[in-house]
């Protein structure tokens, strides 16, 4: 009798009360045939779950098995990824992707889109550019700041309410990832304007449905070149930047000629392709791979972003 190929399986470990339906849909679209969410997973349970995953399917089966790590906490997801890697027993190893809150793929897509517009419209590069991340202490904002900083930008992450939160997060992730984030806060339009005045790049990664930068604040931008927003829920994050904008003029930045904007659906399109490609790669990589924001950004840079 002809032997059939084993079905593809994705185990999704999530420290939150439920696994994100967004990520489950993404796993289906990436071609996984059987998908199993595990909720409320604790860091110390990862070792056991991984070893239960790897030993039952034989060498051919592990190649058709992947693990996804979700949640909303970047540090915890990175710890879980590390714990998963350490739990492997070669040759029983499977590939693992961490993308908590979609933050790694969203941030990678956002920074890659901004980098592309910076190059195309201004002949610039991330290295040495002054970047401000509004909403910079949330998952997407932190990942955005880390990726841009590691690419050479001088990045300030902005908390909307609390300087201590911004300083603590910057310190924690700089120590962990080798970035050079600066933390600050901006609760008023005057605070936001003070920061935008010296920004070449703006990343808007605040919570959904909040307008962070209005036309008055944008009027204070003097050297702004590219602004990217990931909020797809009205009101959008940056006044005048529409969801499908992709290098369109930033009409309210009247003192920053040539500044352009990128909207949430333009970023979302790249994020979708990126997450799809990374999930599919779990099954096609020659050797087991352990993927986080680093691989996500490298891939995003290589995608056709037009
Ligand atoms: N386009 C895409 O493909 C895509 C994919 C995924 C996510 N997203 C979007 O990305 C954004 C960030 O996601 P997330 O999960 O990181 O969001 P989040 O955790 O809900 O919020 C991000 C940050 O926004 C801050 N914030 C809250 N109220 C604010 C205000 N009034 N002004 C400025 N900042 C404020 C939060 O501060 P506190 O923690 O103090 O509240 C937090 O630091 C969301 O808009 C989400 O919908 C887009």
- 92 vs 59: CA distance, rounded Å: 7
**Which residue out of 140, 244, 269 has the highest number of ligand 1 atoms within 8 Å of its CB and is therefore the one to mutate?**
140
Query: Which residues lie below 8 Å from residue 215, measured CB to CB, with a gap of 6+?
Result: 239, 240, 252
pLDDT in tens, 227-274: 999 999 999 999 999 999 999 999 999 999 999 999 999 999 999 999
Rounded to two decimals, the pTM is: 0.97
**Structural tokens at position 290:** 């352990």
- Quote the strand ranges of the chain, DSSP E: 9-13, 34-38, 65-69, 95-98, 130-134, 154-159, 182-185, 201-204, 226-229, 246-249, 260-262, 290-291
Strand, helix or coil for residue 21: helix
Residue 1 has pLDDT above 70, yes or no: no
Is 243 within 8 Å of 264 (Cβ atoms)? yes
C-alpha 209 – ligand 1 centre gap (Å):
9
**Max Cα–Cα distance, the chain, nearest Å:** 74
> Alpha carbon 74 to chain centroid distance?
10
Instruction: Give the closest residue (by CA) to ligand 1 atom 28.
Output: 207
pLDDT in tens, 285-294: 999 999 999 9
pLDDT at 305: 61
- 51 vs 58: CA distance, rounded Å: 13
Pairing of strands 226-229, 9-13: unpaired
**Given the CA of residue 264, which atom of ligand 1 is nearest to it?**
1
Q: Which residues line ligand 1 (CB under 6 A)?
A: 101-102, 106, 135, 137-141, 160-161, 205-208, 210, 212, 230-232, 264, 267-268, 271
Is 12 within 8 Å of 23 (Cβ atoms)? yes
Instruction: Give the closest residue (by CA) to ligand 1 atom 2.
Output: 268
C-alpha 51 – ligand 1 centre gap (Å):
35
Instruction: Give the closest residue (by CA) to ligand 1 atom 19.
Output: 138
C-alpha 187 – ligand 1 centre gap (Å):
15
Residue 306 has pLDDT above 90, yes or no: no
pLDDT in tens, 113-151: 999 999 999 999 999 999 999 999 999 999 999 999 999
**Which residue out of 188, 206, 234 has the highest number of ligand 1 atoms within 8 Å of its CB and is therefore the one to mutate?**
206
What are the chain's domains?
A: 9-98 (3.40.50.10280), 105-267 (3.40.50.720)
Instruction: Give the closest residue (by CA) to ligand 1 atom 30.
Output: 160
Q: What is the mean pLDDT of the chain?
A: 96
Instruction: Give the closest residue (by CA) to ligand 1 atom 5.
Output: 106
Between these two residues, 249 and 302, which has the higher pLDDT value? 249
Instruction: Give the closest residue (by CA) to ligand 1 atom 41.
Output: 207
Q: Hunting for tokens 């499977």 — which residue is that? A: 94
CA dihedral (261, 29, 279, 40) positive or negative? positive
Task: Tell me the CA distances in angstroms from 77 to 36, 51, 70, one per residue in order.
Answer: 18, 18, 7
C-alpha 208 – ligand 1 centre gap (Å):
6
Q: Does an H or E element contain 193, and which?
A: helix 189-196
**Structural tokens at position 80:** 């879980």
Query: Which residues lie below 8 Å from residue 184, measured CB to CB, with a gap of 6+?
Result: 156, 157, 158, 159, 163, 166, 195
Dump the DSSP string for 104-168: HHHHHHHHHHHHHHHHHHH---STT-EEEEETTTSHHHHHHHHHHHHTT-EEEEEESS-HHHHHH
Grade residue 109 by pLDDT with cuts at 50, 70 and 90.
very high
Selection from 6, 26, 53 nearest residue 280 by Cα: 26
What does the radius of gyration of the chain's CA atoms come to, in whole angstroms?
20
Selection from 3, 258, 282, 264 nearest residue 120 by Cα: 258
């Amino acid at each position: 009798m002809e032997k059939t190929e084993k079905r593809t399986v994705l185990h999704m470990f999530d420290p939150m009360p439920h696994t994100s339906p967004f990520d489950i849909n993404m796993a289906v679209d990436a071609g996984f045939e059987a998908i199993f969410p595990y909720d409320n997973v604790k860091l110390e349970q990862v070792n056991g779950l991984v070893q239960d995953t790897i030993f039952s399917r034989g060498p051919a089966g592990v190649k058709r098995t992947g693990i996804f790590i979700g949640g909303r906490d970047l540090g915890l997801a990175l710890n879980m990824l590390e714990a998963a890697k350490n739990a492997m027993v070669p040759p029983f190893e499977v590939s693992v992707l961490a993308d908590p809150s979609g933050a790694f793929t969203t941030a990678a897509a956002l920074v890659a889109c901004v980098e592309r517009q910076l190059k195309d419209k201004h002949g610039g590069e991330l290295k040495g550019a002054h970047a401000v991340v509004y909403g910079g202490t949330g998952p997407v904002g932190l990942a955005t700041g880390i990726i841009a900083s590691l690419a050479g930008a001088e990045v300030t992450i902005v908390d909307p309410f609390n300087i201590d939160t911004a300083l603590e997060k910057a310190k924690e992730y700089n120590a962990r990832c080798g970035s050079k984030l600066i933390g600050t806060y901006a609760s008023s339009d005057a605070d936001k304007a003070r920061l935008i005045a010296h920004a070449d790049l703006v990343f808007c990664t605040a919570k959904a449905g909040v307008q962070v930068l209005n036309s008055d604040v944008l009027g204070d931008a003097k050297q702004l070149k590219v602004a990217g927003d990931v909020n797809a829920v009205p009101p959008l994050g940056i006044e005048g930047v529409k969801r499908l904008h992709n290098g369109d003029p930033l009409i309210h930045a009247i003192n920053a000629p040539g500044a352009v904007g990128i909207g949430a659906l333009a970023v979302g399109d790249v994020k979708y392709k990126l997450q799809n490609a990374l999930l599919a790669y779990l099954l096609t990589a020659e050797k087991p791979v352990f993927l986080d924001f680093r691989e996500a950004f490298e891939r995003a840079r290589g995608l056709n972003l037009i």
